[in-house]
Amino acid sequence: MNFSRKTVKGGVCILVFFLTMLSWTLVSSQSPTKQQQKTITLLPFQYTQLKTNNGTSCVYYMRNASLSNIAVAVNTGAPDSIKYDNGSLFNGIHRLAPGQQIIVVGDFKGKQLNTINLSAQNVAITTMLFCPGH
């Protein structure tokens, strides 16, 4: 009897799991727009490459996660006209004060954005890219 109870319990758990996965698939497939969003934390000397959508305004966010050290990051790949909210060009070297964040909104024209954390100390940089779909 013990054996059959375990089998039934296991079967019920598997059935519940598959029903949950089915409902999640149905809910997520009904989204009317396709979206791309990536949030990444970069430790010193780590980098990321993120692909943007062409013809849509994407949001790119970069933040110094440290509360005591300056972060140094290098960004490349954006069209030359793209600027952060502080007026600096996207492409280039950025020194971020402790806790500082910078944001840019623009059409990256389907380019691949590259960010590398070149901080000397153990400073993490958080980056986020959000591109709504067509």
Residue-wise pLDDT for 28-67, tens only, equals 444 444 445 689 999 999 999 999 988 889 999 999 999 9
pLDDT at residue 1 tops 80? no
- The confidence score (pLDDT) of residue 10 equals 54
Cβ atoms within 10 Å of 111's Cβ, excluding its own: 18
Instruction: Label residue 13 by pLDDT band (50, 70, 90).
Output: low
Rounded Cα distance between 134 and 35, Å, is 9
Say which residue, 36 or 106, is predicted with more confidence. 106
pLDDT at residue 73 tops 60? yes
Q: What average pLDDT score do residues 65-87 get? A: 96
- The confidence score (pLDDT) of residue 19 equals 54
Helix segments in the chain, DSSP class H: 2-29
Secondary structure class of 93 (helix, strand, coil): strand
Rounded Cα distance between 112 and 93, Å, is 17
> What is residue 120's DSSP assignment?
S
Say which residue, 132 or 36, is predicted with more confidence. 132
